Amino acid sequence: MSIIAVSNFKGGVGKTTAAVCIATLLAEGANVLLIDADQNQSALLWSKAGHLPFDVLTEKASRKAMMGGNYQHIIIDSQCAPGTGESKALADGSDLLVVPTTPDGPSLAATGRVFSELADVDNAIALVSMVPPSPQKDGAEAIEALDRADIRHFSRQIRNGKVYKRAFESGLTLPQMGSRDRAGQLWRDWIELKSELAGVLNNE
């Protein structure tokens, strides 16, 4: 069983979207539980229509569900703006801590703060998300900034698109959205990320 936590000090960086998309990737051929530990309960709202291919439960409800041992993967959508020490606790309690960041100064600064708290942790990795389309170079510049700060990151960037908002409103995953709003194109970002994710989980 793998446990993947998703967290950042700053809101609005695509944390819940990343948690849902990672859960969707891992739900192909496996039982997945997404624990919504965020006070906004966005993942629970996303799952309300009952279309997601994995279970979404509150932190409290998940305790009983996990006792059955039926899940191969557990994804934790952590609370927004965790306090000092909580990122370290998340990393210590999981196999991987994914830190999504948008390619702007405040988000990258918040990501830097997370990794400064995780100085002795080797299972955390940043994910550059909500990247604007070409010819804008925000994503590449964010990767360069992470490299300068010696912050480990996925090489694949996640592009932004209206489809994420509409998927949330419809209670669907991107694959379930079909061809709407470039869903297939944007889902390829996550498909390409999957091999990186597997390598990180296997310590490759």
Q: Into how many domains does the chain fold?
A: 1
Residue 120's pLDDT band, with cuts at 50, 70 and 90, is confident
Quick check: is 143 in a domain?
yes
Using alpha carbons only, what angle is made at residue 146 by residues 143 and 147, rounded to the nearest 5 degrees? Answer: 85
Q: Edge-to-edge strand order for the sheet containing 32-36? A: 55-58, 32-36, 73-77, 2-6, 96-101, 124-128
Helix H or strand E encompassing 100: strand 96-101
Supply the pLDDT for residue 179: 86
Bridge partners (DSSP) listed for residue 58: 36
- Residue 21 DSSP SS3: helix
Quick check: is 199 in a domain?
no
Supply the pLDDT for residue 42: 96
Over residues 150-176, the mean pLDDT reads 96
Q: Read off the CATH number of the domain in which 134 is found.
A: 3.40.50.300
The 10s digit of each residue's pLDDT in 17-43 is: 999 999 999 999 899 999 999 999 999
The 10s digit of each residue's pLDDT in 101-117 is: 999 999 999 999 999 99
CA distance 133 to 139: 9
Quick check: is 202 in a domain?
no
Structural domain boundaries enclosing 61: 2-194
Handedness of CA 12, 79, 84, 159 (dihedral sign): negative
